[in-house]
Structure 1
Amino acid sequence: MRSFFKYVLATVTGITIVVILFFVLIIGLVMSTISQSSSKDADVPSNAVLYVSLNHDITERTSENPLEGLNMPGYASTKSLGLNDIVARIAAAKTDSRIKGIYLNPSYVNTGMASLKEIHDALQDFKSSGKFIVAYSDSYTQKAYYLASVADKIYLNPEGSLEFNGLSSSIAFVKEALQKLGVEMQVVKVGTYKSAVEPFLLNEMSPANRLQVTSYLESMYGSFLENIAEGRKISVDSLRYVADNYLIRNAEDAVKHKFVDGRLHKDELLTEIKKRLGVEEKKDIPAVSLLDYTGGSTSEQTGDRIAVVYAYGDIVDGEGSDTNIGGDRFSRELRKLRRDDRVKAVVLRVNSPGGSALASDIIAREVELTRQVKPIVVSMGDYAASGGYYISALADSIFAERETLTGSIGVFGLIPNLQGLLNNKLGVHFDEVKTGRFSGLMSSPDKPLTEEERAIIQGDVNRVYNTFIGKVAQGRKLSTNAVDSIGQGRVWTGLQAEGHGLVDGIGGIDRAISAAAAKAKLKNYKLAYYPTVKDPFSSILGTSKERIKAWMLADELGDYRQYVEQLRTITRSSGIQARMPYTIEIR
């Protein structure tokens, strides 16, 4: 009888927990719905400032999360906006008579350099309206200061800091760690600069890789300095001198070198903004946050459609998920848009370091077929490299930011040999029976490749590379020899790529949309965005496991999470890869 009650109690407890979790999800959904409906009709006071902080992860596109704001494992505890909404809302504020200026309050900005440039340009465009931008922070990272440099006035807390010491990019090498585990990475590749596999083979950058990293980093740094120089009216040479000698250590140094206009406490900053608005000192500043501001009611453009397709994340075989580019899913999306008579042009927004060569080719085929029916223009984000460039090459036109990292035209295969780990450390052995000499090719994880097997794989890699450069040559109207000379896995910035004929012009997604409209001869059109965003509640139920795992990884490892994710992505990749070298983080 005691056991009976114990099991009954356990069952009831389990059901209760499930019910509680279910109601938490429902409450979160209702709260989000209320919040979203109220934000659509956000009460923007007259004579207001738009508060912009951007102190959150910035993705390509705002994701729907009905539990946003709830502190639950796997879900964000604060609101966030994608690049698309950040730019659109700043643009709306430019013509909103209720908004008189922007209070820019960044301390760090977690996004890539190309996305940073698009936000910078949106702020610059806002400023052209004659409205003010005032920047203030307790501390500025370099990316935060880059945005602040657009402002009419920049202020810093008297005890605050400003980071300005040049850009850097570091790589984690795991060769010796794998050796200690008894793991050997067997690499087959094409491309002198195809360095995605170097962390598994070396303890430092190869000379070729160091050359390319130095080249694109200097190109990005040049653009970075030029924009700051324009905003602050300081020469590029002076900026370089300050960075090279680490002359800014504190707020006093920042004022001395004219990086900021003054040292202010928060209350003094608020007084400054009140004066600009003509608000009495004892009253609060009328304000609305960029997170809540939607631009008010706008009349929807009518007419034909331009489809904007967001392709961001790793390129993977099959359907993929919301956070990557599934070859089957995206080829199907393009096929539907090609057959849709309402859609007169397509803009493919690519932000990807690449991935599966096969999936890239499947998507590239649909881009080619779409081009035969209607204009298709590519807009490149932070990355459009290797497989990301593969799916772009056959478009009518390609636009990138100067800071975009692209190219990396090369492929590789990575086959782990776990003989040392399995046989020597764990005592695990494999044996097999074969009907042919190559029946067991790559089937046993504890056996190294033979010379014949390596030659077979190298032949496949060479074939994929030749197909890759052939498609680039076709799309860009270059010879295959010319493509090979600028290929070999080398990464270029958008500015460098334009010089080599890999992109047609410098600009963000707005320029790509304008180019698509011009090619389709459209004057009146509306934008339609794809893939369609999933119902947020369904999305949560479908991806809770992945979200919780990501949350736990981030909680335990912090900034070091990227190295684990990088290793996991590479080692889990199957087939021949057209992937950018590792994850490039610019600081």
Structure 2
Amino acid sequence: MKQFFKYVLATVVGIVISLIVVFLLFMGIAGAIVSTADKEVKVEPNSILYVDLKQEIVDRSTDDPFSGFDFTSLQPNSPMGLNQILKAIANAKVDPNIKGVLLEIDAINAGAATTEEIRNAIIDFKSSGKFLYAYSDTYSQKAYYLASAADSIFLNPEGMVEWLGLRSEIMFFKKALEKLGVEPQILRHGKFKSAVEPFMLDKMSPENREQTLTYISSIWNQWVKGISETRGISSDKLNSIANNMEIFNGKKALENNIIDGLIYKDELIATLKNKLGVEEKKDLSSIELKKYFKAPDVAKQKFSKDKIAIIYASGEIGMGEGDNDNIGSEGLSRAIRKARRDSSIKAIVFRINSPGGSALASEVIWREVDLAAKVKPVVVSMGDVAASGGYYIASPANTILANPTTITGSIGVFGLFFNLQKTLDSKLGINVDVVKTNEHADFFSIYRPMTAEEKAVGQMYVEQTYQTFIDHVSAGRSIPVEQVDAIGQGRVWSGVNAKEIKLIDEFGGLTDAIELAAEKAGLESYRLVELPKQKKLMEQLMEEMSSQTKSWLLKDELGLPFK
């Protein structure tokens, strides 16, 4: 028995020591990653900024070094922030060590409006007189649109350029749900509110087909216009190339002035060496975009007590705190309220990239935006999408900017509930019985269909929410309610269409919104603060450990059944 306890004690001690070692090792790795992330990089003279946009691009970069971290290769793979990219390109424009930019892009992991903002930034970079080259083995349509702003576009001799037009494909589940015995119960206001169509139809409704064709045609026309201006090819010719599939190989692309040259990578390097005056046997000096994020800020302004707050709202809208990928009504409202009450913050840029979500959460956020807009300039900057709830929270702002390719509108409301009674009964042989104190206590149950009375109540709530929505838009945009209703009905619009119907004020990206906010606040010198404030790694770890400790203490008090 003594021997048994000896081995048990040794095992326990071994486990404890192992946990301590693992914890210390983890903290060491975390410390190394954090110190590396914060370390400023040196840019060598006569350097090229190398831009590769394969990683996901989000509006705001995260301070969490473990976000997207690949533990198999021990390499970071976190998304790039548009805020970082725009700042880096602007910095490279005035950095004497950066002599030019090389775009090597075959695809871009970002939306159309984000791509538009990056393209505008590199067009501005060209005003410095520095060179801008693009090279790839293949170009997707979006990548080519960005590359078309370059001074010279090169392609691998056996490469290709995709240029076919845009499409939208929607999968419909109606027949599958019928086979499974699942009944979708749909409440909506807005004949264009198409999010529920895959559950109720087996093809696009005429209204959805109309709105989809309108906004994808608008995006395509913007791309054609942009390429026409930078490449000197007529819009008719660009559409003809797409319709006739003329440039699948490099030679045809060169003949049609889509590219400037067919070269291999070694020939590109030789071209760049010649451009920079680098000897053939010496290496080029270059720095990757992601590393350049940590380069010294050449264009840094003098310290100013006056601030402009950039408040980010990215992801679906819901209740609670939210995080980097989702908008929480409590967390975002607190950030807006803080900016409103801070006298050193003279203006707010509200960056929205959201398809919508909870109507109640949107209302909570709307209230704070409305209050803020009454005391200081609030300029909305729309990203790839600011639709439904995303437009709801934008509507009280003083000014709304969007890109021509932004997707917005969708002023409508819907509710979707599934009845699984038939599925469980006929497919699985499962029956659900219920005991209730009141007749409608199981109103939202998935085990029975709604009654006619319950559907009427649900539809009444949808109608009330829609009326509140269009009232807010009417007040915020100074448009008669009847007109808002006419352009509403759940219809989605591109930025170009939205400007025509006064849902936005002007075209512009995040940089334009900041400049406009400074102008409205009468600021010549200012600094930027980003909200909601992101928690540092150690803060997150301490909060997590504190939460776990509280949980353990509660379990100890309440017993094992506690969860």
TM-score exceeds 0.5: yes
Q: Would the aligned equivalents of 1:423 and 1:446 in 2 still touch at CA under 8 Å? A: no
Equivalent residue runs for 1:352-391 within 5 Å: 352-391=354-393
Q: Give the structure 2 partner of residue 81 of structure 1.
A: 80
1:412 match: secondary structure:
strand
Q: Give the structure 1 partner of residue 331 of structure 2.
A: 329
Matched, 1:475 2:476: yes
Structure with higher RCO (Cα < 8 A, 6+ apart): 1
Matched, 1:515 2:516: yes
Of stretches 516-525 and 130-139 in structure 1, the one that deviates more from structure 2 is 516-525
Q: Which runs of 4+ in 1 moved over 6 A?
A: 1-10, 73-76, 540-544
Q: Give the structure 1 partner of residue 535 of structure 2.
A: 534
Distance 1:146 1:451 in 2: 52
Q: Give the structure 1 partner of residue 551 of structure 2.
A: none
**Alignment deviations for residues 317-353 of structure 1 (CA, whole Å, 9 cap, x no partner):** 1222221111111111111111111111111000000
Structure 1 6/171 Cα, relative in aligned 2: closer, same or farther at 3 Å? Answer: farther
Equivalent residue runs for 1:262-411 within 5 Å: 262-294=261-293, 295-297=295-297, 298-411=300-413
Q: Would the aligned equivalents of 2:37 and 2:65 in 1 still touch at CA under 8 Å? A: no
Structure 1 17/356 Cα, relative in aligned 2: closer, same or farther at 3 Å? Answer: farther
Q: Would the aligned equivalents of 2:270 and 2:280 in 1 still touch at CA under 8 Å? A: yes
Matched, 1:224 2:223: yes
Distance 1:248 1:429 in 2: 60
The letter for the 1-side match of 2:477 is R
Q: Give the structure 1 partner of residue 168 of structure 2.
A: 169
Of stretches 62-71 and 365-374 in structure 1, the one that deviates more from structure 2 is 62-71
Of stretches 69-78 and 183-192 in structure 1, the one that deviates more from structure 2 is 69-78
Please state how far the C-alpha of 1:419 moved relative to its aligned partner. 0.8
Please state how far the C-alpha of 1:449 moved relative to its aligned partner. 0.9
Structure 1 268/198 Cα, relative in aligned 2: closer, same or farther at 3 Å? Answer: same
Structure 1 374/264 Cα, relative in aligned 2: closer, same or farther at 3 Å? Answer: same
Q: Would the aligned equivalents of 2:64 and 2:536 in 1 still touch at CA under 8 Å? A: no
User: Normalized against structure 1, the TM-score is what?
Assistant: 0.87
C-alpha RMSD of matched pairs (Å): 2.3
Q: Give the structure 1 partner of residue 465 of structure 2.
A: 464
Please state how far the C-alpha of 1:424 moved relative to its aligned partner. 2.3
The letter for the 2-side match of 1:265 is Y
Q: Give the structure 2 partner of residue 454 of structure 1.
A: 455
Matched, 1:46 2:48: no
**Alignment deviations for residues 191-225 of structure 1 (CA, whole Å, 9 cap, x no partner):** 01000111222222111101100000000100011
Distance 1:149 1:427 in 2: 61
Structure 1 197/17 Cα, relative in aligned 2: closer, same or farther at 3 Å? Answer: farther
Please state how far the C-alpha of 1:83 moved relative to its aligned partner. 0.5
Equivalent residue pairs, number = 541
**Alignment deviations for residues 89-148 of structure 1 (CA, whole Å, 9 cap, x no partner):** 001000111111001111110100000000000000001111100111111111111111
Q: Give the structure 1 partner of residue 110 of structure 2.
A: 111
Structure 1 340/135 Cα, relative in aligned 2: closer, same or farther at 3 Å? Answer: same
The letter for the 1-side match of 2:496 is L
Q: Would the aligned equivalents of 1:141 and 1:162 in 2 still touch at CA under 8 Å? A: yes
Distance 2:443 2:34 in 1: 54
Please state how far the C-alpha of 1:477 moved relative to its aligned partner. 0.5
Please state how far the C-alpha of 1:182 moved relative to its aligned partner. 2.8
The letter for the 1-side match of 2:313 is A
Q: Give the structure 2 partner of residue 439 of structure 1.
A: 441
Please state how far the C-alpha of 1:228 moved relative to its aligned partner. 1.2
Q: Which ranges of structure 2 fall in alignment gaps of 5 or more residues?
A: 546-563
2:57 match: secondary structure:
coil
**Alignment deviations for residues 294-320 of structure 1 (CA, whole Å, 9 cap, x no partner):** 452434441311111011100001222
Structure 1 222/436 Cα, relative in aligned 2: closer, same or farther at 3 Å? Answer: same
Matched, 1:34 2:43: no
Structure 1 530/454 Cα, relative in aligned 2: closer, same or farther at 3 Å? Answer: same
**Alignment deviations for residues 17-48 of structure 1 (CA, whole Å, 9 cap, x no partner):** 7556534532332222232233x2x1111111
Distance 1:13 1:109 in 2: 49
1:355 match: secondary structure:
coil
The letter for the 2-side match of 1:351 is N
2:281 match: secondary structure:
coil
Q: Would the aligned equivalents of 1:394 and 1:472 in 2 still touch at CA under 8 Å? A: yes
Q: Would the aligned equivalents of 1:80 and 1:291 in 2 still touch at CA under 8 Å? A: no
Distance 1:209 1:259 in 2: 34
Q: Give the structure 1 partner of residue 487 of structure 2.
A: 486
The letter for the 1-side match of 2:260 is D
User: Normalized against structure 2, the TM-score is what?
Assistant: 0.91
2:129 match: secondary structure:
coil
Structure 1 92/187 Cα, relative in aligned 2: closer, same or farther at 3 Å? Answer: same
Structure 1 62/272 Cα, relative in aligned 2: closer, same or farther at 3 Å? Answer: same
Higher alpha-carbon Rg = 2
Distance 2:67 2:364 in 1: 35
Q: Would the aligned equivalents of 1:66 and 1:537 in 2 still touch at CA under 8 Å? A: no
Please state how far the C-alpha of 1:10 moved relative to its aligned partner. 7.4
